[in-house]
Amino acid sequence: MRRLVIFLGFFLVLSSVAKIIPSEAEALPYAYVIPVTSKNWVNATRFANTLLYAGVPVYWAQEKFTVEGTVYEAGSFIVPVTAPSIGWRTLTPEKADSMVKSTAKIFPGIPLVSAMREFNASILVLKPPRIAIHGDQVSHCFAFYGLVEALGFKADIVMSMDIRNGILDNYDVFMFPGDSLPQIYSLGYEGCKALERFIIKGGGLIASCAGTIATAGVAPNESWPEKYWLQVGRWYCANVNTSMPFGSWTDWRTPWVKEAPPPSYISGYYNPPGIGLIILKNENPKHPVMLGIPTTFTVVHWQGPMLKPVPVGYIMWPRILPNGTTVWEDQWFSNPIPLASFYDWTENFTFMEYYANVWAQKNATRDTLMKTLFGRGISEGLISIMGGYMGNGKVVVSGSHPELGTRPSLEFLGDEDIQAKIYANAIYWQVSEPSFNPVSFPISYGVSQVLSLRSDVERLVKDISKDFPSPPDRLVTPVTTRERSTFGMTPQDKWSWFLSDLSENCKEVADACTKLTNMMSMLQSKLDGLQSLEKRLLELRRRGFEVDRELEQVHSLREMVLANIRRVNEDINFLYVEEWTPPDGTPPRQYAGAEVRMGLLQLLNLTKTRLGIVLSALRGEIGWPGYLGSVDAALGGYGPDGFMIRCLAFLSGDTIDSQVTINSIDIAVNELTNLITSLEERKSIEDLSVEMAKMKNETTSEIAKVKDATTSEIAKVKDATTSEIAKVRDTITTAYYTSIATGIIGALIGAVVAYLALRKSIK
């Protein structure tokens, strides 16, 4: 029994020690991984959104990545904890860790993986999306609203009047639901222009069904004036008929080149392909919008448009400038990105041709059904979901309804409705910050998008140099030769020189990207250092020091660094569009003219597109465009080589500006660090108060001790005095009584002697 008691006591001691000493498993990780699969994507998305809106940084993996031997799918979320975040950290690592763990309890079915060792991942940096949904009575806003709310996004329903008054300035994403084309009419001219400006400046647009028709430059009838139309991408609706009877097939307009006059813009009658469940094919599984979406998937189609991309080399939307010249705004739009095409139908789909007799459809052969409007759309490879860029904005439009469930009730049921993930992905893609990939945890940087486009440009230059070392004859005619033999070079000389210079510029862009990457990494480290200084200053203020001015200085330095990072991000992604007031008194318009300032990605995209057009024209795949009428326009300073030189100017300027910022930060931080260190070594008011209280307590204690000692001594003296007095009194009393006794005895003896003498004398 005694041994058992000893063992239990020893065990309790060990248990208490184990609680005091943290184990390796309790250390903060570099990051947490929230795996996303087809079976948990709804709650995983809610988990990520809960963290985002709480101020916790969340990254979105764009490719598969491995953590400690386990492979996680693209589309999974990464939450940095001790790894430096990209941007200013709003929560300390400890608070972020606590927030993640407490949120994980709300979603017990979602695994939360701690990454304790370094790993690499290609990411997009997310921010909390601010979503506006068009809510006029002509739009089915509640399907969109119900979906985003179910996924943990925060959204508001806005009306056309709000849009005209500029409310979109407060949002990141605008969702245009389906229903009917009067949505555009309810927006009016000012609303359409406000929506265009919102997208060009960087806003995201998600449109569905009739919302897609409304944004593809379509008017429902010829009586609607042109000013109510929108065009947000390089595609058109293929099932809008101009003149053929109901059920026929024709493109509603033919794209035109610069030399050709624009068409009449009269759209005519709209042909709905059918209603029910269809099957789409994932055409771009690596695009952010299509991450985690199966190769084929079922979706509701409700009479929506079937989209066709505008071929490369065609120019859209002429604008007349104040000087009377025409600007063709092709550079507003990227090449269209087909995301999902029409692939097949299900037994739960009713073709438009069989609305009145569904039994005839059930008895029809597949060959017969392939001749329907929908069947011909499949044969021609028409697109249901399309993506692209307009200025700085990102656009995703769909002729079908991914937001709806795949049942006649149209109810969204959760994970099984994987097609709805397309719109969650679209929102994340549209609000994602420019990323610096690949990213390792701890964070490192690389301007991957710029480098990827640079590689594409370099490949095109090599192809042209190899297959077409000389310019085409149309650029070396006698007239052209006399006009274009500049700088002492013939067109042949310039052709060779520009190809060589383009190749060199590609290498310089790669080197400049490396330098800029290093600068961005250093700026991030400066942010982390400033945050550390802020924490020290806040502690000093808590102790009673006046450090408000120093805190303001830290915040000013932080804004300087963030402004530099934002400027670099803008230079990578920015497109500036000028505005002018037409002489006819109509409201101001925006145009992309000679003074347009374009960012790196726009310049490189334009370089790649221009070189692609040149190569296609050289190969005879397309006619030679009229605007490439010289070597300078095809390859030189007015074309790709000039674009690349502007890229280098951006990169060089950003690198120098970043270095200047870093130097300024270093000087200010050194001064602040010295000041903070000296203050930390000084005794603060709080410290002095504590010491005074301690001295007071010590003095009181000493006084109490002296008082106690004095009282004790007085008591001792009193006791001693009393004792001595008692002794003296006893001595005096004894002597007194002794003397009395002696006198009495003497008297008695004298009396006896006298008596004896008297008696003797008598005898």
**What pLDDT, in 10s, does the model give residues 344-380?**
999 889 888 888 778 888 888 899 888 888 888 898 8
Average pLDDT over residues 236-249: 38
Q: Of residues 140 and 267, which shows the higher confidence score?
A: 140
**Out of 8-17, 18-27, 520-529, 653-662, which region has the weakest mean confidence (pLDDT)?**
8-17
User: For residue 652, what pLDDT is reported?
Assistant: 76
pLDDT band at 342 (very low <50, low <70, confident <90, very high): very high
Going by the DSSP 8-state scheme, the letter that residue 382 receives in this structure is -
User: For residue 574, what pLDDT is reported?
Assistant: 54
What Cα–Cα distance (Å) separates residue 254 from each residue in 268, 398, 437?
14, 21, 40
**Out of 407-411, 522-526, 701-705, which region has the weakest mean confidence (pLDDT)?**
407-411
CA gap 563, 19 in Å, rounded: 45
CA gap 340, 285 in Å, rounded: 9
User: For residue 483, what pLDDT is reported?
Assistant: 43
User: For residue 242, what pLDDT is reported?
Assistant: 34
User: For residue 553, what pLDDT is reported?
Assistant: 87
User: For residue 627, what pLDDT is reported?
Assistant: 66
Q: Of residues 205 and 93, which shows the higher confidence score?
A: 205
| 539 alpha-carbon distance from chain centroid | 31
* Euclidean distance between the first and the last CA atom of the chain, given in angstroms as a whole number: 107
Q: Of residues 742 and 554, which shows the higher confidence score?
A: 554
**What pLDDT, in 10s, does the model give residues 511-558?**
887 777 777 778 878 888 888 888 888 888 888 888 888 888 888 888
Does 570 score more than 80 pLDDT? no
Mean pLDDT across the chain: 74
Does 17 score more than 50 pLDDT? no
Does 437 score more than 60 pLDDT? no
Does 587 score more than 80 pLDDT? no
Does 413 score more than 90 pLDDT? no
CA gap 605, 599 in Å, rounded: 10
User: For residue 261, what pLDDT is reported?
Assistant: 30
**Out of 29-33, 218-222, 324-328, 730-734, which region has the weakest mean confidence (pLDDT)?**
218-222
User: For residue 131, what pLDDT is reported?
Assistant: 94
pLDDT band at 221 (very low <50, low <70, confident <90, very high): very low
Does 4 score more than 70 pLDDT? no
User: For residue 688, what pLDDT is reported?
Assistant: 61
Residue 584 neighbours by CB under 8 Å, 6+ apart: none
Q: In this structure, how many other beta carbons lie within 10 angstroms of the beta carbon of residue 416?
A: 13
Of the chain, the percentage scoring pLDDT greater than 70 comes to 72
Please provide residue 231's backbone torsions phi and psi, each rounded to the nearest 5 degrees. Answer: -140, 110
Does 183 score more than 70 pLDDT? no
Does 330 score more than 60 pLDDT? no
Of the chain, the percentage scoring pLDDT greater than 90 comes to 11
**What pLDDT, in 10s, does the model give residues 656-695?**
777 888 888 888 888 888 888 888 777 655 566 666 777 7
Please provide residue 207's backbone torsions phi and psi, each rounded to the nearest 5 degrees. Answer: -130, 150
Does 325 score more than 70 pLDDT? no
Q: Of residues 269 and 485, which shows the higher confidence score?
A: 485
The domain limits of the chain are 30-125, 130-412, 446-681, 692-763
Contact status, residue 206 vs residue 167, Cβ threshold 8 Å: no
pLDDT band at 150 (very low <50, low <70, confident <90, very high): confident
CA gap 14, 297 in Å, rounded: 57
User: For residue 232, what pLDDT is reported?
Assistant: 57
Does 697 score more than 50 pLDDT? yes
User: For residue 182, what pLDDT is reported?
Assistant: 56
Q: Which of the following CATH numbers is that of domain 130-412: 1.10.260.40, 1.10.8.620, 3.30.70.20, 3.40.50.880?
A: 3.40.50.880
DSSP 629-690: -SHHHHTSTTSHHHHHHHHHHHHHHHHHHHHHHHHHHHHHHHHHHHHHHHHHHSPPHHHHHH
Does 140 score more than 60 pLDDT? yes
Does 11 score more than 50 pLDDT? no
User: For residue 741, what pLDDT is reported?
Assistant: 78
User: For residue 48, what pLDDT is reported?
Assistant: 93
User: For residue 485, what pLDDT is reported?
Assistant: 56
Phi-psi region of 682 (alpha: psi -120 to 50; beta: other; left: phi over 0): beta
Average pLDDT over residues 630-649: 80
Contact status, residue 685 vs residue 546, Cβ threshold 8 Å: no
CB burial of residue 629 (10 Å; 0-12, 13-18, 19+): middle
Maximum mean pLDDT: which of 267-271, 432-436, 524-528: 524-528
Which residue carries 């374009």 as its tokens?
598
User: For residue 315, what pLDDT is reported?
Assistant: 39
